[in-house]
Amino acid sequence: MIEASCDCGGVRIEIDAAPTKLTDCNCGVCRRYGALWAYYMRPQVRVAGATTIYLRGHKWLEFHHCVTCRCLTHWQAVDKAGQRMGVNARLMAPEVVAATPIVQFDGASR
């Protein structure tokens, strides 16, 4: 099991397994957030704590932030039929990130 948390500890995330790869996306929002995304299916992830949501652009993704420290914690689809979600790996232990390959994704060209 992998654990992640925001800076203040108000949001805690438990994930069934370590990520097999991380995605560094260069789209406008991911570039500004500085997030590294670990992708999972929603049943593999448990999020505890209060978050606030930012809906960007076409409003099909919810970007979740801690209500206290404002760290970006995860994203999930607005349409809850979608099971895929992204967890901000920057909230995981540094050794988890260091042991995981990072893939560059050109989201800016989409």
> Domain containing 61 — which CATH number?
2.170.150.70
pTM: 0.93
Mean pLDDT calculated for residue range 76-83: 88
CA-nearest of 34, 50, 35, 43 to 85 is 43
Mean pLDDT calculated for residue range 30-52: 96
Mean pLDDT calculated for residue range 28-57: 94
Query: In the prediction, which pLDDT does 8 show?
Result: 98
Q: For all residues of the chain together, what is the average pLDDT?
A: 95
Confidence of residue 59 (pLDDT cuts 50, 70, 90): confident
Query: In the prediction, which pLDDT does 14 show?
Result: 98
Q: Which two tokens stand for residue 1?
A: 């099991």
Residue type, 22: L
Give the torsion sign (CA, 60, 46, 65, 101): negative
Confidence of residue 56 (pLDDT cuts 50, 70, 90): confident
CB under 8 Å to 65, separation ≥6 — which residues? 51, 52, 53, 54, 71, 72, 73
Confidence of residue 19 (pLDDT cuts 50, 70, 90): very high
Residue with tokens 């932030």: 65
Share of the chain above pLDDT 90, in %: 85
Count of the separate structural domains present in the chain? 1
- CA–CA separation, 86 and 15 (whole Å): 11
Instruction: Give the range of the structural domain holding residue 12, as residue numbers without chain letter.
Output: 2-109
Contact 73, 86 (CB under 8 A): no
